[in-house]
Structure 1
């Protein structure tokens, strides 16, 4: 484990400290004996709620239920037991649908890579019931996106997202569209990018070459190679300010797994796509909060001053129960997040973001409708139209 002391964990609530101690313990009975103060004067209702929010209860409940020490009230264990069983049923349902979708895609020669979901539960935890998943995320080549959408609709799914686009900007501004099945209520996120743009990322062919297949789900279920998976999980977690410990625990399980990322390959990948600081943040959090051993070859990533600052910023969110994707946010949280989110970008990605701002939005066409042959004029008019909306408050961007 690293001996760096980047994080001051004194600001974390007692309930969060107990969750961290349980996640880091090989023997929960030993934890209760060594740190009895963590189990006293605790808000157990908040402890349960934080377990739900951070989505670590499927991993913790099987261990808590086997404790000989009666440190956790029986009523609390029953509540966690119910959540655990509900999640197990949901994960089994998702795993069946994942295999079903993968088979149908294969029949149409549509390549797909599953990004999260049951395949990560099995790969990282050795048991899909020990990880939560609310939906199925999979990536297809953009030139097969329409065929994949048609298949999902044929399988009974209904498309929820409708992007307004002026000059095809949805291809890089957005990264997935959502489908929901009205009967099973399963959500599917169909990706054509790993994350929102504008930002450079590996193309589908590169990801496909490094992808793996799962012996548990069949040869049609592909998932990311270890280096690509680390970068994807790190960027995803950073973009959400690591506001759920489950995302960070995934990183720990990946680094401790049978096939961890190769440090040399990972470092080159991170440099190529300008994610070194985010990776350093990820490793610092995993090392200091979850006591994760870090390969010495990756230590330089943790020495980056920007990485250390980004890691400290995350402590603001851990004690809070907040979904950063669901506005409105509390003013204090919104203000903090509005500063944090741009800070995770590299200089190159900030430049791309600024350039993306100059690319016309659908809102520009609403402000000043022009015939299609004149749509090229939206490029020089873009700053003027944006300023007009800003001053008049007529419309927001997409």
Structure 2
């Protein structure tokens, strides 16, 4: 059963709360009609928008909100503030260590995005720290993070490099399990293009004061390219990602959006920027940048894909149901890129191949032969009635 089928009003309220300039009267009207508050809280959690919902309802002095719902959101807020402060402290430790070792890095998403876009560390919901480093410093970064207790799950680094390296990111978990860092050296897997490459960011970073330390992060056009690419990679499946792009569009209409689109198009991902503009318009009623309106209207692909993704979003937070690793193909607007991505995925072994058929390291190359057959078997099994 579709998740929002019986919760259209609750979903609409979340959309109103995520707007950069919420319509208070519309929110009051919805609250006055009586909502399923348990469903509202559940959807807010799944869409990652509880900070915005809490902020919006508190600004209305909690009018029309039941005590249980208010208590739940205020409790979340207290815990989230503490969690955000703790993660800011962790980010400071990492930044100081990397600076001392002369490793270039940038924080994105997590505390850095919350502060730069929403104005406060706890104004956006997140659960880990994301940092990007040059590819040739990944091993050095891993070693430094290990001194802070962050390690790759498992005991075999060769396994991670062989079966997870194509993702161009590793998740390192602290020994106590209370914190995690996603270490990136790219913004997408090797199989798909992306509107922004790490090489483009190093000369155009802003420094944010987080926990009394200067944290480098993305800004302006690069932040726009990142958010458009990330949203498209994730099929704009959560209101949080739609809200991120909407807030950036609303606050940075001064950016050269035509140039931003051109940069993305040079990477084969121009539609990601157009799609972001179309979706924030259709979901949150935020007008896209004027420089993009003509291109959005002229693109049959953007219009069709946008309508599909908005329908999916309204049915519930999107979860991958496609064959493994095919879910970010919306980044591929050129047929040749889609073909290349398909071939890379078909012939690139992953951890699931090893799990399905554990082989000793000396035979790992055999996965290049077995993987296509395993994928074909999965596809055939999924097609059976």
What TM-score, normalized by structure 1, do the two folds share? 0.80
Contact 1:14/1:38, CA 8 A, preserved across alignment: no
Choose the corresponding residue for 1:317, options 302, 306, 312.
312
Provide the rounded CA distance (Å) in 2 between the counterparts of 1:306 and 1:312.
10
> Is 1:150 aligned with 2:161?
no
> Is 1:81 aligned with 2:74?
yes
Report the Cα offset of residue 267 of structure 1.
1.6
Identify unmatched segments of 5+ residues in structure 1. 1-8, 326-333, 394-398
Task: Tell me the residue number matched to 1:188.
Answer: 181
Task: Tell me the residue number matched to 2:26.
Answer: 31
Task: Tell me the residue number matched to 1:345.
Answer: 332
Provide the rounded CA distance (Å) in 1 between the counterparts of 2:323 and 2:34.
30
Instruction: Give runs of aligned pairs for residues 125-204 of structure 1, distance below 5 A.
Output: 125-160=118-153, 171=165, 173-183=166-176, 185-201=178-194, 202-204=196-198
Task: Tell me the residue number matched to 1:6.
Answer: none
Task: Tell me the residue number matched to 2:271.
Answer: 277
Choose the corresponding residue for 2:219, options 225, 228, 231.
225
The secondary structure found in structure 2 opposite 1:114 is strand
Provide the rounded CA distance (Å) in 2 between the counterparts of 1:102 and 1:250.
24
Contact 2:7/2:39, CA 8 A, preserved across alignment: no
Task: Tell me the residue number matched to 2:382.
Answer: none
Contact 1:166/1:361, CA 8 A, preserved across alignment: no
Choose the corresponding residue for 1:123, options 83, 102, 116.
116
Report the Cα offset of residue 76 of structure 1.
1.1
What TM-score, normalized by structure 2, do the two folds share? 0.82
> Is 1:354 aligned with 2:345?
no
Choose the corresponding residue for 2:292, options 298, 306, 328.
298
Provide the rounded CA distance (Å) in 1 between the counterparts of 2:30 and 2:259.
43
Choose the corresponding residue for 2:262, options 235, 246, 268.
268
Task: Tell me the residue number matched to 1:251.
Answer: 245
Provide the rounded CA distance (Å) in 2 between the counterparts of 1:391 and 1:310.
26
> Is 1:18 aligned with 2:13?
yes
Report the Cα offset of residue 388 of structure 1.
5.1
Q: How many residues in Structure 1 have an aligned counterpart in Structure 2?
A: 368
The secondary structure found in structure 2 opposite 1:222 is strand
Contact 1:32/1:69, CA 8 A, preserved across alignment: no
Choose the corresponding residue for 1:111, options 104, 107, 111.
104
CA separation of 1:38 and 1:177: change in aligned 2, threshold 3 A = same
Task: Tell me the residue number matched to 1:54.
Answer: 47
Which structure would you say has the larger Rg? Answer: 1
Provide the rounded CA distance (Å) in 2 between the counterparts of 1:309 and 1:259.
25
Identify unmatched segments of 5+ residues in structure 2. 379-385
CA RMSD of aligned residues (A): 3.6
Contact 1:22/1:31, CA 8 A, preserved across alignment: no
Provide the rounded CA distance (Å) in 2 between the counterparts of 1:10 and 1:261.
38
What is the CA deviation profile of residues 173-202 of structure 1, one whole-angstrom value per residue up to 9, with x for unaligned ones?
212111111336111001111111223454
Worse overlay, 61-70 or 221-230: 61-70
What is the CA deviation profile of residues 8-42 of structure 1, one whole-angstrom value per residue up to 9, with x for unaligned ones?
x9997221012112333846642245xx2564242
The secondary structure found in structure 1 opposite 2:172 is strand
> Is 1:206 aligned with 2:212?
no
